[in-house]
Structure 1
Amino acid sequence: MEARSRNLPVLAPPMFDKENYQAWAVKMQAYMEGCDYWEAVEDDYEVAALPDNLTLNQIKNHKEMKTRKAKAKAYLYAAVPPAIFSRIMVCESTKTIWDFLKAEYQGDEMIKSMKVLNLVREFERLQMKESETIKEYSTKLIVIANKERMLGTDLSDNRLVQKILVSLPERYEATIASLENTRDLSQIKLAELVRALQAPEQRRSRRLKGSVEDALRAKVQHSSEGKEKKWKGKKGSDSKSEVAAGCRKQRRKIFSMQALCWLVDSGYTNHMTSDKKLFRNLDKSIKLRVRIGNGEYLAVEGRGTVAMKSCAGIKLISDVMYVPEID
């Protein structure tokens, strides 16, 4: 086992670039602990002189303690740029070096308080953009929280959950309403909330992807039809053109039918319909409220899968809300 560890590559210590001292200090301490040299920095023990009548074990321990202190100092020297090295090279011990860097770059309590205040302001002002995903937005909040924690201020996961819930765009309202009816939001974990909010994002992404693919197919079909007409002119009847024309008529029919009771939601969380007959299956236990374009809230009496007839066959649309009050 010992022979194998000697063959493992030794990682270089994390470099300090005069910026973000707190993050570097955490990395450097973890590095020293992993190499078993942190004791030489933290305790700054003295290596006693060797007594007479030494045993082999005493000689070995004495050598290990001296080597540990020397390597700890060498790693600190290697982790700083030349400008900083010229200032710490006169320090006698590793603890003196560590304390100098802490005092020089972390600052006193007043400076730490100002840094914490700036991070709190950044945290409170941050709002989720329309172009962002919930994963990207939550990552920004976690980065700020970790910076505060390194400065000694604890920002709990519960506070992050509250921040996310009050700063989300309107497209997440249906999902939040569902969570309010089924979960205790004061007890929900951050990772669990992020997963729950990712589900409507993924459904929306699939719908948008499908719309793009349909548009591309229609464009290719239109281009092919134009080429056929160019070669065949008006001679006779072209069965392929007739089929394409029939598909286009059918597609127009799909989006025009049920005009008074079918709302296609291309940018938000769910489709909605007031026609109960369209549902292939319907879960009536879902009871929510949704806000429509005019700001009015309507009651949701269930959610299920709707079957629509198209030129390609029966089209199933999942996660459709049953809202009887849609005009």
Structure 2
Amino acid sequence: MKTYLQAFNLWEVVNTDTEPAPLRANPTVAQIRQHADERTKRHKAMSCIQNCVSDVIFTKIMACKTLKQAWDKLKEEFQGTERTKKQQLLNLRRYFENLKMRKEETVKQYADRIMAVVNSIRLLGEHFDEARIVEKVLSTLPERYEAKISSSEGSRDLASISLTELINTFYAQEQRRASRAEDHQESAFQVKAKEASSTNAHKGKKFWKNRPKPDAARSSELCRHCNRLGHPEERCWFRPDAICQHCKKKGHVERVCKNKSRPKQVHSQQKNEVVRVAEDNSDHEK
């Protein structure tokens, strides 16, 4: 509100709140215009104040006759009396001294919280030096910034550094630390993914290795043909109705035929014997 009134050259009217001097006898045109401007300034300033406030605040200043009364009413509404201002200042100073950086906060977020308190103190009319804010930030930073603070103290005087420069210095350090943490998390995630894939593959192999056979799952009784487990009777290799395709005998299948395991020499010897007998018969006939 103060800045708005200063832009229209009306702030002095609010402070003085005095009626302009009356015109002298036989005034000039310039004096008449100047006198008219001085008289209308009060009404312009009152119009600015009434138009800039909300309807609730307007109802509190609408009964004020002079500009000074309206401005004092606004100050009392938003700043309180002198006693209230002192109590507010005391609470804000105590809150400022107890401020500490939270674990999950960045330096910029912490500085914003500090500046919100400092601006409230400055609005109540108390001077607050920026060097005091810098000292507060440096004294309450966590231990992870200790190395950076020590290097800054060795390179330059921290009493002459601005708050913006200080925050940007620590903000760059935070960005580097965050990028390293992201790289570490990515590498750890890749290692865990490899371990999980190898574990799943091992579990899959173990599962298929130890998986029970379908016949063993279906048949848990002894086969009456071979007295063994793991297969039904109709699929037994030694059932009586089975016919071997190798030796043409009943009681077993070709897969377990004992004659099948004999060398091929027996078959060739039998063939040679048949040929020899045939030759002897032909000689006899001759």
Query: Are residues 213 and 58 of structure 1, via their aligned partners in 2, closer, same or farther at CA, if it must alter by over 3 Å?
Result: farther
Q: The residue matched to 1:186 in structure 2 has which SS?
A: helix
Give the CA deviation at 1:217: 8.0
Equivalent residue for 2:94?
Answer: 121
CA distance in 1 between partners of 2:102 and 2:136 (Å): 14
Equivalent residue for 2:71?
Answer: 98
Equivalent residue for 1:240?
Answer: none
1:191 aligns with 2:194: no
Runs of 5+ unmatched residues, structure 2 = 196-286
Query: Are residues 191 and 82 of structure 1, via their aligned partners in 2, closer, same or farther at CA, if it must alter by over 3 Å?
Result: closer
Q: 1:133-152 deviations in whole A, cap 9, x for unaligned?
A: 11111121122112112223
Give the CA deviation at 1:158: 2.1
Query: Are residues 217 and 35 of structure 1, via their aligned partners in 2, closer, same or farther at CA, if it must alter by over 3 Å?
Result: farther
Equivalent residue for 1:63?
Answer: 36
CA distance in 2 between partners of 1:50 and 1:216 (Å): 87
Equivalent residue for 2:123?
Answer: 150
CA distance in 1 between partners of 2:122 and 2:60 (Å): 29
Instruction: Please tell me whether the aligned partners of residues 10 and 45 of structure 2 are also in contact (alpha carbons under 8 angstroms).
Output: yes
Q: The residue matched to 1:101 in structure 2 has which SS?
A: helix
Equivalent residue for 1:138?
Answer: 111
Q: 2:154 aligns with which of 181, 193, 197?
A: 181
TM-score normalised by the chain length of structure 1 = 0.53
Aligned pairs for 1:150-299 (under 5 A) are 150-211=123-184
Higher helix proportion: 2
Give the CA deviation at 1:82: 3.1
Aligned residue type for 1:112: K
- Say what the alpha-carbon RMSD is for the aligned residues: 3.0
CA distance in 1 between partners of 2:70 and 2:94 (Å): 33
1:109 aligns with 2:82: yes
Query: Are residues 54 and 155 of structure 1, via their aligned partners in 2, closer, same or farther at CA, if it must alter by over 3 Å?
Result: closer
CA distance in 2 between partners of 1:60 and 1:214 (Å): 80
1:39 aligns with 2:38: no
Instruction: Please tell me whether the aligned partners of residues 19 and 39 of structure 2 are also in contact (alpha carbons under 8 angstroms).
Output: no
More displaced, 141-150 or 153-162? Answer: 153-162
Query: Are residues 63 and 175 of structure 1, via their aligned partners in 2, closer, same or farther at CA, if it must alter by over 3 Å?
Result: same
Aligned residue type for 2:130: D
CA distance in 2 between partners of 1:217 and 1:66 (Å): 79
Aligned residue type for 1:152: G
CA distance in 1 between partners of 2:193 and 2:80 (Å): 65
Q: Radius of gyration: which is bigger?
A: 2
Aligned pairs for 1:306-317 (under 5 A) are none
Q: 1:122-177 deviations in whole A, cap 9, x for unaligned?
A: 11222111221111111211221121122233332222122212211221111112
Q: The residue matched to 2:65 in structure 1 has which SS?
A: coil
Aligned residue type for 1:145: V
Aligned residue type for 1:135: K
Runs of 5+ unmatched residues, structure 1 = 1-27, 223-327
Higher strand proportion: 1
Give the CA deviation at 1:181: 2.4
Aligned residues: 198
CA distance in 1 between partners of 2:165 and 2:55 (Å): 46
CA distance in 1 between partners of 2:173 and 2:56 (Å): 52
Query: Are residues 63 and 220 of structure 1, via their aligned partners in 2, closer, same or farther at CA, if it must alter by over 3 Å?
Result: farther
Identity %: 41
CA distance in 1 between partners of 2:89 and 2:106 (Å): 27
Query: Are residues 52 and 164 of structure 1, via their aligned partners in 2, closer, same or farther at CA, if it must alter by over 3 Å?
Result: same
Q: The residue matched to 2:126 in structure 1 has which SS?
A: coil
Q: The residue matched to 1:114 in structure 2 has which SS?
A: helix
Give the CA deviation at 1:116: 1.0
